[in-house]
Chain A
Amino acid sequence: MKTYDEINERIASGRAVVVTAEEVIDYVDSRGLERSAAEIDVVTTATFGPMCSSGCFLNFGHSTPRIRMTEAWIDDVAVYTGVAAVDVYLGATELRHNDPANMDYPGRFEFGGGHVIERLVAGKALQLFALSYGTSDYPRREIRTWFTIRDLNQAIMVNPRNCYQNYNVAVNASDKRIYTYMGLLEPNLANCTYCSAGQLSPLLNDPFYETIGIGTAVWLAGARGHVYAEGTQHAPSCRRTDEGLPTEGGGTLALTADMKEMRPEFVRGVSLPGYGVSLALGIAIPIPILDAEVLRRTTVRDRDIRAPVVDYSRDYPEMTGRTLGHVTYEELRSGEVRIEGRRVKVGSLSSYHAARRCAHLLREEVRAGRFPLAPPLRPLPREQGMQGLRITGEPR
């Protein structure tokens, strides 16, 4: 048994034993659970993939004379201005003004909110255009100017939903191609797409949220950030394996961090033909090895984790709840899986390669004493489902 304080003391002294959620598997295999639990202080988990429910609050500072922005665009992408005068929220999935979307199907969606966020973090010059109706105290009615992230007072990423605990494997059982947020799906189960870091993924290494809670320190694209709430659609009361691993979405995290400290390679705009734009993020979360049981959960392997196969031509849009069975991440990573008796080619939207880099970078930061752990202020809900939206003709 170790406490957060003991682990943080070892981190501060530069003596902490830190391994990634991939390395820990062989470590425990060769040295045994009890001995490993005594030796290892921290296991770093990570993921990299599109996370649509992401965005950021920006504060521009005040111009002379002042403006209270009522409509604003950054690089022609609309931002939300329904907050204070020069605060805006820029969302990952916002399209560029005049994007033809799917009018010429499938739309290309080459640039949108996610790409503006990528350019912002990369230190590029962006153009702000904003309008207002003008007031006594904020007389300016229009502004157009260039800025970079260094010119902003704050650029704080605030993501309502990241790090889905597990995720669907998307297929298309219809006889026509479909374009989805899981990419192009060819008809008759010709290909499938998954989106999870599997054995490296944060919430699969802490399936019951024993160490990851509200207040936990996270590595969000290189910046030290925090879990500020349960993520939207956090649904821990999902179907699980005997070991407690979700076999569907499960839990989610709401994360925040300062974008001025982020690394551009882990903040990347995403274009999905026929669907829209998004933002891919690299996230790493340290798990303190408080006891052998916490350690045992971090030794989860791709072969133990099962993902549901969902037909995105019918069952997903129509909310039928039907799945075409389950496959493990070990099977998915082999490049081909069997679904309904057919051999199906596998693609991935999450990058295991990039997730691994995030886990390595956080491991080095913890080893160097630069990333102390923060114990949760409050646990994430461990029992709750997710409700659908009922459509009613009159108020209930």
Chain B
Amino acid sequence: MKKTLQEQYERKERKKQILLWTGMVGVIFLAFGTAVLGASDTSVRDLFAAIGEAVKTGGNPEDTGHKVIFLLRLPRIVMAVFAGIGLSVAGTAMQGITGNPLVSPFTLGISNAAAFGASLSLVFGIGIGAGTEGGVVFQAFLWAGVCTVLVYLVSSRAGLGPESMILAGIGLNYLFSAATSVIQYFADEHKLTAAVQWAFGSLNGAAWEQTVIVAALVTICSVALFFMALDLNAMAAGDDEVAISLGVHPERVRILAGILAVLMTAAVISFTGVIGFVGLAGPHMARLMIGNDHRYLLPCSGLWGAALLLAADAVGRMLLAPVVIPVGIVVSFIGVPVFINLVLTAGKGGNGWDWK
């Protein structure tokens, strides 16, 4: 018997759900798989043994193996997972509210603003706790926030349309980029290196305190965005007038979803530095795989983001070991070929991967 249209649709929905669960399991495997890679030899069995022991007895904090796993590897992979989710989900939300596939979490200028804040702290020693790790994070986050407020102030004068938001963001992006260059121009060599390295984006030295903060913010913002999935769908349906006719306030969604996206992006990059590409590629890979329904697209893009960062960081640690290449650099080298392949196959077959 031929299936009815509705049955076909429901079958596709189930397929998407299965795909998401499979993806989640895949990311967990990837996380544990990459956790064992590094300068010190560890196997997956050691990893689980150490975790098991820690759960049972609290483990031996003086043991080197224990230290490597609990103070280096685990916080690092947890940071990679949540940074990836945060950047990629933020990118999906930003693309949704602007209706523009070229938009990333950094379109509103916050990456350069954060870099400006970090440079202020690193080079000039301006701001609370200047020059210390916490001070850099604080300054980066603060300036990302300042930039966001400016973007919304400027574009609200022009009606908070997607074009005005993007243009205001691009404008401020250049402004902060120029301001950062000024600081770097006057910086001495030693401080310049620190400032430039910050901008590379890396997971080096991810500690539990940082990881927990990032994980918490990313979780809260992602869940909140997930609850706005239907609003984002309505925004993707066409121009603002279409969203309004479907009962959605485009401006409210643009403000709320935009702030959630920026908040978690700022949280991530304040700690890791600027990790680009994930926020642009993650959403597209997810879209080609699972379609444009944000109920599936948001979680799927989060998984892609996590997978990209985990894989890139693993490669970065292995390639020239013991030198660790910053993940912000590696992720583009790994992600771009995959991304371009996807774009090309999608253009030919029309549907990317036919899961939709």
> Are A and B physically bound partners?
no
A contacts, CB < 8 Å to B: none
